Amino acid sequence: MLTLDHKSPVPLRAQVEQLLRELIQKPEFQKGGLLPDECKLAIQLGVSRGTVRSGISKLVFEGLLQRKAGVGTKVANKHSESGITAWRSFTREMAAKGIQVQNFHLNYHLTRASKPAMQGLLLKRGTKVWRLERVRGWDQRPILYSVSWFHPRLSLKGNEDFSRPLYATLEAATGARPHHAREELLAVNADARLSKLLQTTRQAPCLLRRHQVFDAGDQPIEFSEVYYVSSRFALTLELRQD
């Protein structure tokens, strides 16, 4: 019997997430059995369907669960792609996990490159570049805030539709194709603006992911800074021995 402690100081959302982690360790689910659906779990636990969905979404994002429309949710294949291994398209990676990414904010304009962007794109001080700012998430909750700067060499026009997958849009508009990337991961706290954009508290722990993308000729095409709300996001790294 699945139960929660409604009198506990631990938030129900966190209790649901922990219960799901324990539930998926049961042999029947490790062998491929489908988890109870969201409605059934919500009724049994005495919480909203959104609370259950949030817990499932967190485990899906961590690569522990996978869900498919019309089928259900089950323990993920251990080789499922997650996090840094799928940098080419965040939207498509999430879609493969059954998560529909929502765009909460998008701003695209020409401006002077920031100091980190100048360094990441190997530009001179004062160079103007196209800057793309987005807030995205799912289940009506913002998860990440990203800022991308694009190298002037791409000759972007300013009318590109970045509501679509970023690299597909870049390739269609400019012919530029990402070949490899370099990552830097940092722990930071949300400032006033970031906390407002991501609907979290000031000083909330966030993961900052600095991202340089290069073409096949090792020329930079994009530099980005992505801030993730740590309590809503887990980055999975898969390491293999050659």
The CATH number assigned to the domain holding 53 equals: 1.10.10.10
pTM above 0.75, yes or no: no
**pLDDT digits (tens), the chain, 242 positions:** 678 888 888 888 889 989 999 999 999 998 889 999 899 999 999 999 988 988 888 788 677 888 887 889 998 865 444 444 455 567 767 776 677 888 999 999 999 999 999 999 999 999 999 999 999 998 889 999 999 999 999 999 999 999 888 888 998 999 988 888 888 999 999 999 999 999 999 999 999 999 999 988 899 999 999 999 988 887 766 665 55
CATH number at residue 129: 3.40.1410.10
- Same-domain check for residues 50 and 164: no
Asked if residue 68 belongs to a domain, the reply is: yes
Residue closest to 132 by CA, chosen among 222, 233, 41, 216 = 222
Query: Which residue, 100, 82, 83, is CA-closest to 91?
Result: 100
Q: Pick from 173, 167, 180, 131: which is nearest to 155 by CA?
A: 173
- CA-based nearest residue to 11, from 63, 48, 39, 61: 48
Using alpha carbons, list the distances in angstroms from residue 220 to 90, 213, 224: 19, 6, 11
| Share in percent of the chain as helix, strand, coil (round to 5) | 30, 30, 40
Q: Kindly state the helix (H) or strand (E) to which residue 51 belongs, with its residue range.
A: helix 49-61
Q: Report CA torsion sign: 79, 55, 236, 212.
A: positive
Q: 169 lies in which domain range?
A: 85-91+98-232
Q: Is residue 57 part of a domain?
A: yes
Same domain, 151 and 75: no
